[in-house]
Amino acid sequence: MAVGRARARGFTLIELMLVVVLAGVMLAMVSIGAFPDDRARLREEADRLAQLWTIAQDEAVVRGAPVLWEASTEGYGFSVRDGRRWRPLDRDNALRPRQWQLQPMRVSIAGPAFNGPRNSAVRIEFSRSSLSEPLVVALQYGAASATVRGDGLGGFAVDEAPR
């Protein structure tokens, strides 16, 4: 009678190492997607701002009244001209006041804008017609920066600073 060996069951060391390496790679991919770096978050913020400016320009045309964007290091909001004063659009779902996702945000501007009297705010006024000239708003958080450009014709685009 021949005595046969029972085959050992289990994983080899190579199979276990392969599983650990694959798990590490997948964990790294998930953490990069779940926790974006400052550049990615700033780009997202700049994209949102460009979209909101398009809405503000359209809102100024529809209302027949200027819409004001005002930003500080903490956040930004939109207001509409109501007679002689600016009334915040705090009940408007799209143009409601917002906090920057990254704080403190440095905001600088070139073009048809002026510095506000309070908290060194930056302001842009959208009217029934498009902006009269191109503008550039630079957003900076730490070492990350992005710019939102208005072409003067109602179009807005985002540029990232090179690495």
Look up the CATH number of the domain holding residue 130: 3.55.40.10
pLDDT of the chain along its 163 residues, tens only?
555 566 667 778 888 888 888 888 888 777 766 666 888 889 999 999 999 999 999 999 898 999 999 999 999 999 999 888 999 999 999 999 999 988 899 998 875 544 444 345 789 998 887 666 788 999 999 888 999 998 878 889 998 655 5
Nearest to 95 by CA among 53, 134, 124: 53
Q: How many domains does the chain have?
A: 1
Residue 115 is predicted with a pLDDT of: 42
pTM: 0.72
Structural domain contains residue 132: yes
Structural domain contains residue 84: yes
Structural domain contains residue 28: no
Q: For residue 113, what is the enclosing H or E element?
A: strand 113-115
Domain that holds residue 72: 38-160
Structural domain contains residue 150: yes
DSSP 8-state assignment for residue 161: P
Q: Report d(CA 98, CA 133) in Å as an integer.
A: 26
Query: Number of H helices and number of E strands within the chain?
Result: 2, 10
